Amino acid sequence: MEQATWITDISMMHYLYLAVILFAIGIAGIFLNRRNLITILMSIEIMLIAVNINFVTFSTYYSNLEAQVFTIFILTVAAAEAAIGLAILVALYRNINTIDVRKINKLKG
Amino acid sequence: MSAFFYLFAFFSIFAATMVISVRNSVHGVLYLIFTFLNIAGLFILLGAEYIALTLIIVYVGAVAVLFLFVVMMLNIEMEAVRRSFIKYFPLGIIVVLIFIGLLSAAYMKQNQYKLNHPNTGTLITAKIETGHRSNIKELGKILYTDHFLSFQLCGLILFAAMLGAIVLTLSHSKKVRRQSIKQQTMRKPNETVQLVDVPSKAGLNVKY
Protein backbone atom coordinates (compact mmCIF):
# COMPACT_ATOMS: atom_id res chain seq x y z
CA MET A 1 0.00 0.00 0.00
CA GLU A 2 2.94 2.32 0.60
CA GLN A 3 4.23 2.13 -2.93
CA ALA A 4 0.97 3.11 -4.55
CA THR A 5 1.02 6.66 -3.28
CA TRP A 6 1.73 7.90 -6.75
CA ILE A 7 -1.96 7.40 -7.42
CA THR A 8 -3.34 9.43 -4.52
CA ASP A 9 -0.55 11.97 -4.08
CA ILE A 10 -0.65 14.27 -7.05
CA SER A 11 2.89 15.43 -7.63
CA MET A 12 4.37 17.81 -10.16
CA MET A 13 5.13 14.96 -12.57
CA HIS A 14 1.44 14.15 -12.97
CA TYR A 15 0.75 17.60 -14.31
CA LEU A 16 3.85 17.57 -16.51
CA TYR A 17 2.93 14.25 -18.08
CA LEU A 18 -0.55 15.57 -18.72
CA ALA A 19 0.96 18.60 -20.46
CA VAL A 20 3.11 16.31 -22.60
CA ILE A 21 0.12 14.23 -23.66
CA LEU A 22 -1.94 17.28 -24.53
CA PHE A 23 0.95 18.77 -26.51
CA ALA A 24 1.35 15.51 -28.41
CA ILE A 25 -2.38 15.46 -29.18
CA GLY A 26 -2.04 18.97 -30.56
CA ILE A 27 0.87 17.92 -32.76
CA ALA A 28 -1.06 14.90 -33.99
CA GLY A 29 -4.00 17.13 -34.78
CA ILE A 30 -1.90 19.22 -37.12
CA PHE A 31 -0.53 16.54 -39.33
CA LEU A 32 -3.24 13.91 -39.10
CA ASN A 33 -5.71 16.46 -40.33
CA ARG A 34 -6.47 16.69 -44.01
CA ARG A 35 -9.86 18.20 -43.65
CA ASN A 36 -9.96 21.80 -42.79
CA LEU A 37 -7.80 24.63 -41.68
CA ILE A 38 -9.80 25.31 -38.55
CA THR A 39 -8.69 22.00 -37.04
CA ILE A 40 -5.09 23.14 -37.45
CA LEU A 41 -5.84 26.37 -35.59
CA MET A 42 -7.58 24.46 -32.83
CA SER A 43 -4.62 22.10 -32.50
CA ILE A 44 -2.34 25.10 -32.08
CA GLU A 45 -4.58 26.33 -29.28
CA ILE A 46 -4.38 22.92 -27.60
CA MET A 47 -0.58 23.06 -27.77
CA LEU A 48 -0.53 26.52 -26.24
CA ILE A 49 -2.73 25.52 -23.37
CA ALA A 50 -0.55 22.46 -22.71
CA VAL A 51 2.41 24.80 -22.31
CA ASN A 52 0.30 26.91 -19.97
CA ILE A 53 -0.29 23.86 -17.76
CA ASN A 54 3.47 23.39 -17.61
CA PHE A 55 4.08 26.96 -16.52
CA VAL A 56 1.38 27.05 -13.85
CA THR A 57 2.58 23.71 -12.47
CA PHE A 58 6.11 25.02 -12.09
CA SER A 59 4.74 28.18 -10.54
CA THR A 60 2.91 26.21 -7.87
CA TYR A 61 5.54 23.60 -7.07
CA TYR A 62 8.44 26.05 -6.95
CA SER A 63 6.49 28.86 -5.29
CA ASN A 64 7.45 31.38 -7.89
CA LEU A 65 4.78 33.66 -9.20
CA GLU A 66 6.69 34.90 -12.23
CA ALA A 67 5.66 31.80 -14.14
CA GLN A 68 2.03 32.80 -13.83
CA VAL A 69 2.93 36.25 -15.14
CA PHE A 70 4.37 34.53 -18.19
CA THR A 71 1.20 32.46 -18.46
CA ILE A 72 -0.77 35.67 -18.91
CA PHE A 73 1.56 36.67 -21.73
CA ILE A 74 1.12 33.31 -23.43
CA LEU A 75 -2.64 33.78 -23.13
CA THR A 76 -2.37 37.19 -24.77
CA VAL A 77 -0.26 35.92 -27.64
CA ALA A 78 -2.57 32.94 -28.16
CA ALA A 79 -5.62 35.17 -28.39
CA ALA A 80 -3.87 37.54 -30.80
CA GLU A 81 -2.66 34.68 -32.95
CA ALA A 82 -6.09 33.05 -33.05
CA ALA A 83 -7.64 36.32 -34.17
CA ILE A 84 -5.11 36.87 -36.94
CA GLY A 85 -5.24 33.22 -38.02
CA LEU A 86 -8.98 33.34 -38.36
CA ALA A 87 -8.80 36.65 -40.23
CA ILE A 88 -6.38 35.08 -42.70
CA LEU A 89 -8.72 32.11 -42.97
CA VAL A 90 -11.66 34.33 -43.80
CA ALA A 91 -9.65 36.28 -46.37
CA LEU A 92 -8.47 33.00 -47.92
CA TYR A 93 -12.00 31.67 -48.02
CA ARG A 94 -13.12 34.74 -49.90
CA ASN A 95 -10.62 33.96 -52.62
CA ILE A 96 -10.74 30.22 -53.08
CA ASN A 97 -14.07 29.41 -51.46
CA THR A 98 -12.85 26.35 -49.65
CA ILE A 99 -10.85 25.61 -46.53
CA ASP A 100 -9.72 22.17 -47.54
CA VAL A 101 -6.04 21.88 -46.74
CA ARG A 102 -5.33 19.88 -49.87
CA LYS A 103 -6.58 22.66 -52.11
CA ILE A 104 -4.26 25.30 -50.70
CA ASN A 105 -1.31 24.33 -52.82
CA LYS A 106 -0.91 27.17 -55.28
CA LEU A 107 1.47 29.95 -54.58
CA LYS A 108 -0.06 32.51 -56.90
CA GLY A 109 -3.82 32.73 -56.70
CA MET B 1 -8.93 15.23 -3.60
CA SER B 2 -6.77 13.54 -6.18
CA ALA B 3 -9.90 12.22 -7.87
CA PHE B 4 -10.52 15.73 -9.12
CA PHE B 5 -7.15 15.80 -10.85
CA TYR B 6 -7.84 12.49 -12.59
CA LEU B 7 -11.32 13.60 -13.54
CA PHE B 8 -10.15 16.87 -15.10
CA ALA B 9 -7.13 15.24 -16.71
CA PHE B 10 -9.10 12.39 -18.25
CA PHE B 11 -11.79 14.68 -19.60
CA SER B 12 -9.30 17.15 -21.03
CA ILE B 13 -7.39 14.40 -22.85
CA PHE B 14 -10.64 12.88 -24.09
CA ALA B 15 -11.97 16.21 -25.31
CA ALA B 16 -8.66 17.14 -26.98
CA THR B 17 -8.70 13.82 -28.85
CA MET B 18 -12.26 14.45 -29.94
CA VAL B 19 -11.38 17.94 -31.18
CA ILE B 20 -9.07 16.57 -33.84
CA SER B 21 -11.18 13.60 -34.82
CA VAL B 22 -14.78 14.71 -35.18
CA ARG B 23 -16.14 15.40 -38.62
CA ASN B 24 -18.36 18.30 -37.78
CA SER B 25 -16.37 21.46 -37.12
CA VAL B 26 -18.94 22.87 -34.75
CA HIS B 27 -18.62 19.78 -32.58
CA GLY B 28 -14.86 20.22 -32.71
CA VAL B 29 -15.08 23.75 -31.36
CA LEU B 30 -17.45 22.65 -28.62
CA TYR B 31 -15.03 19.93 -27.59
CA LEU B 32 -12.31 22.57 -27.56
CA ILE B 33 -14.40 24.63 -25.15
CA PHE B 34 -14.78 21.54 -22.96
CA THR B 35 -11.01 21.08 -22.99
CA PHE B 36 -10.47 24.65 -21.88
CA LEU B 37 -12.98 24.31 -19.06
CA ASN B 38 -11.33 21.17 -17.74
CA ILE B 39 -7.90 22.75 -17.85
CA ALA B 40 -9.30 25.76 -15.98
CA GLY B 41 -10.42 23.30 -13.31
CA LEU B 42 -6.88 21.94 -13.18
CA PHE B 43 -5.54 25.44 -12.68
CA ILE B 44 -7.88 25.98 -9.75
CA LEU B 45 -6.51 22.75 -8.24
CA LEU B 46 -3.04 24.23 -8.60
CA GLY B 47 -4.06 27.34 -6.71
CA ALA B 48 -4.02 29.70 -9.68
CA GLU B 49 -7.64 30.74 -9.63
CA TYR B 50 -7.09 34.03 -11.42
CA ILE B 51 -5.40 32.27 -14.33
CA ALA B 52 -8.23 29.74 -14.42
CA LEU B 53 -10.93 32.38 -14.64
CA THR B 54 -8.93 34.41 -17.14
CA LEU B 55 -8.71 31.26 -19.22
CA ILE B 56 -12.47 30.93 -19.17
CA ILE B 57 -13.06 34.57 -19.99
CA VAL B 58 -10.41 34.95 -22.69
CA TYR B 59 -10.05 31.51 -24.21
CA VAL B 60 -13.62 30.29 -23.98
CA GLY B 61 -15.35 33.63 -24.11
CA ALA B 62 -13.32 35.27 -26.84
CA VAL B 63 -11.19 32.81 -28.81
CA ALA B 64 -13.59 29.87 -28.91
CA VAL B 65 -16.55 32.11 -29.68
CA LEU B 66 -14.49 33.61 -32.52
CA PHE B 67 -13.89 30.10 -33.78
CA LEU B 68 -17.60 29.41 -33.62
CA PHE B 69 -18.39 32.57 -35.56
CA VAL B 70 -15.95 31.67 -38.32
CA VAL B 71 -17.10 28.04 -38.47
CA MET B 72 -20.70 29.06 -38.79
CA MET B 73 -19.93 31.78 -41.30
CA LEU B 74 -17.98 29.62 -43.70
CA ASN B 75 -19.67 26.90 -45.63
CA ILE B 76 -17.79 23.89 -44.37
CA GLU B 77 -18.74 20.53 -45.72
CA MET B 78 -18.53 17.61 -43.41
CA GLU B 79 -15.79 15.38 -44.62
CA ALA B 80 -17.20 12.09 -45.82
CA VAL B 81 -13.99 10.34 -46.77
CA ARG B 82 -11.68 9.13 -44.03
CA ARG B 83 -9.15 7.54 -46.32
CA SER B 84 -6.42 10.04 -45.68
CA PHE B 85 -6.82 9.76 -41.93
CA ILE B 86 -6.19 6.03 -42.03
CA LYS B 87 -3.27 6.45 -44.41
CA TYR B 88 -1.40 8.79 -42.08
CA PHE B 89 -2.54 7.23 -38.84
CA PRO B 90 0.45 4.84 -38.27
CA LEU B 91 2.95 7.60 -38.91
CA GLY B 92 1.00 9.89 -36.64
CA ILE B 93 0.95 7.37 -33.82
CA ILE B 94 4.68 6.71 -34.22
CA VAL B 95 5.57 10.39 -34.10
CA VAL B 96 3.30 11.03 -31.10
CA LEU B 97 4.73 8.07 -29.20
CA ILE B 98 8.30 9.12 -29.98
CA PHE B 99 7.51 12.61 -28.75
CA ILE B 100 5.90 11.41 -25.52
CA GLY B 101 8.72 8.91 -25.01
CA LEU B 102 11.44 11.53 -25.42
CA LEU B 103 9.85 13.94 -22.99
CA SER B 104 9.11 11.19 -20.49
CA ALA B 105 12.73 10.11 -20.67
CA ALA B 106 13.73 13.64 -19.84
CA TYR B 107 11.27 13.70 -16.95
CA MET B 108 12.45 10.36 -15.52
CA LYS B 109 15.63 11.99 -14.28
CA GLN B 110 13.67 14.10 -11.85
CA ASN B 111 12.86 13.06 -8.32
CA GLN B 112 9.30 12.99 -7.21
CA TYR B 113 8.16 16.38 -6.03
CA LYS B 114 5.27 16.70 -3.69
CA LEU B 115 2.98 19.63 -3.36
CA ASN B 116 4.02 21.79 -0.41
CA HIS B 117 1.26 24.23 0.25
CA PRO B 118 -0.49 26.10 -2.51
CA ASN B 119 -0.02 29.61 -1.25
CA THR B 120 3.49 29.22 0.04
CA GLY B 121 5.00 32.41 -1.20
CA THR B 122 5.23 35.12 -3.76
CA LEU B 123 8.30 36.20 -5.53
CA ILE B 124 11.33 37.05 -3.40
CA THR B 125 9.68 39.54 -1.05
CA ALA B 126 11.13 39.91 2.42
CA LYS B 127 7.86 41.06 3.92
CA ILE B 128 5.74 38.18 5.17
CA GLU B 129 2.09 38.97 4.90
CA THR B 130 -0.71 37.56 6.93
CA GLY B 131 -4.35 37.67 6.25
CA HIS B 132 -6.22 37.01 3.09
CA ARG B 133 -3.95 36.40 0.11
CA SER B 134 -5.37 35.70 -3.25
CA ASN B 135 -3.80 34.79 -6.54
CA ILE B 136 -4.95 37.96 -8.24
CA LYS B 137 -3.61 40.16 -5.48
CA GLU B 138 -0.18 38.59 -5.56
CA LEU B 139 -0.09 38.67 -9.32
CA GLY B 140 -0.99 42.32 -9.31
CA LYS B 141 1.89 43.08 -6.99
CA ILE B 142 4.47 41.93 -9.48
CA LEU B 143 2.72 42.42 -12.79
CA TYR B 144 2.42 46.19 -12.48
CA THR B 145 5.77 46.79 -10.82
CA ASP B 146 8.48 44.40 -11.91
CA HIS B 147 6.98 43.26 -15.19
CA PHE B 148 5.41 46.51 -16.23
CA LEU B 149 7.20 46.67 -19.58
CA SER B 150 6.04 43.22 -20.62
CA PHE B 151 2.53 44.13 -19.57
CA GLN B 152 2.56 47.20 -21.80
CA LEU B 153 4.03 45.17 -24.66
CA CYS B 154 1.09 42.80 -24.30
CA GLY B 155 -1.15 45.72 -25.00
CA LEU B 156 0.87 46.50 -28.10
CA ILE B 157 0.57 42.89 -29.26
CA LEU B 158 -3.19 43.02 -28.90
CA PHE B 159 -3.29 46.32 -30.74
CA ALA B 160 -1.27 44.87 -33.61
CA ALA B 161 -3.58 41.85 -33.73
CA MET B 162 -6.61 44.09 -33.88
CA LEU B 163 -5.09 46.13 -36.69
CA GLY B 164 -4.16 43.00 -38.60
CA ALA B 165 -7.59 41.46 -38.30
CA ILE B 166 -9.31 44.63 -39.47
CA VAL B 167 -6.96 45.18 -42.40
CA LEU B 168 -7.32 41.60 -43.55
CA THR B 169 -11.07 41.35 -43.46
CA LEU B 170 -12.51 44.80 -44.04
CA SER B 171 -13.69 45.31 -47.60
CA HIS B 172 -15.80 48.09 -48.97
CA SER B 173 -18.52 47.15 -51.39
CA LYS B 174 -18.33 49.25 -54.52
CA LYS B 175 -22.09 49.57 -54.87
CA VAL B 176 -22.55 51.41 -51.61
CA ARG B 177 -22.13 55.13 -51.92
CA ARG B 178 -19.95 56.74 -49.36
CA GLN B 179 -18.92 60.21 -48.43
CA SER B 180 -15.43 61.29 -49.17
CA ILE B 181 -14.70 63.86 -46.52
CA LYS B 182 -11.49 64.90 -48.19
CA GLN B 183 -13.26 65.58 -51.43
CA GLN B 184 -15.98 67.50 -49.70
CA THR B 185 -13.71 69.80 -47.77
CA MET B 186 -11.34 70.47 -50.62
CA ARG B 187 -13.83 71.71 -53.16
CA LYS B 188 -13.28 75.12 -54.60
CA PRO B 189 -15.91 77.89 -54.66
CA ASN B 190 -15.73 78.26 -58.41
CA GLU B 191 -16.75 74.65 -59.02
CA THR B 192 -19.66 74.48 -56.63
CA VAL B 193 -22.17 76.53 -58.56
CA GLN B 194 -22.36 76.54 -62.31
CA LEU B 195 -24.70 78.69 -64.41
CA VAL B 196 -25.92 76.84 -67.47
CA ASP B 197 -28.13 78.08 -70.20
CA VAL B 198 -30.75 75.36 -70.62
CA PRO B 199 -32.66 75.30 -73.88
CA SER B 200 -36.40 74.79 -73.41
CA LYS B 201 -37.80 71.28 -73.57
CA ALA B 202 -34.31 69.82 -73.43
CA GLY B 203 -32.87 68.27 -70.35
CA LEU B 204 -29.59 68.67 -68.70
CA ASN B 205 -26.93 66.01 -68.30
CA VAL B 206 -25.86 66.36 -64.74
CA LYS B 207 -22.75 64.59 -63.68
CA TYR B 208 -22.65 63.51 -60.06
Instruction: For residues A46 and A26, give the distance between their C-alpha atoms in angstroms, rounded to a whole number.
Output: 5
A17 contacts on B by Cβ (under 8 Å): 104, 107
A84 at the B interface (CB within 8 A)?
yes
Q: By the CB < 8 Å criterion, does A15 face chain B?
A: yes
User: How much is the ipTM here?
Assistant: 0.92
Q: Which residues of chain B, if any, have pLDDT below 70?
A: 77-86, 109-131, 208
Q: What pLDDT is recorded for position A62?
A: 85
DSSP line for chain A? --TTHHHHS--HHHHHHHHHHHHHHHHHHHHS--SBHHHHHHHHHHHHHHHHHHHHHHHHHTT-THHHHHHHHHHHHHHHHHHHHHHHHHHHHHHHS--BGGG---S--
Nearest residue of B to residue A84 by CA position? B165
Residue-level pLDDT at B183? 87
Contact B113, A12 (CB under 8 A): yes
Compute how many other C-beta atoms are within 10 angstroms of the C-beta atom of residue B72. Answer: 12
- If you average pLDDT over residues A90-108, what whole number do you get? 83
pLDDT score, position B131: 67
Residue A4 has pLDDT above 50, yes or no: yes
Residues B65 and B29: their CA atoms lie apart, in Å, by 9
Query: Is the per-residue pLDDT at A87 higher than 90?
Result: yes
Q: How far apart are CA B141 and CA B129, in angstroms?
A: 13
Q: Please name every residue paired with A100 in a beta bridge, in sequence order, or none if there are none.
A: A36
Instruction: Give the nearest partner residue to B13 out of A16, A22, A71, using CB atoms.
Output: A22
A:B CB pairs within 8 Å: 221
Where helices occur in B22-64 by DSSP H, the ranges are 25-45, 49-54
pLDDT attached to residue B126 = 42
B65 in reach of chain A (CB within 8 A) = no
pLDDT tens digits, one per residue of A9-43: 888 888 999 999 999 999 999 888 877 889 999 99
Q: Do A76 and B162 touch (CB under 8 A)?
A: no
Report yes or no: B68 at the A interface, CB cutoff 8 Å. no
DSSP assignment of B175-186: TS----HHHHHT
Cβ distance of B5 and A14 shorter than 8 Å: yes
Across the interface, of B46, B135, B168, the residue whose CB is closest to A57 is B46
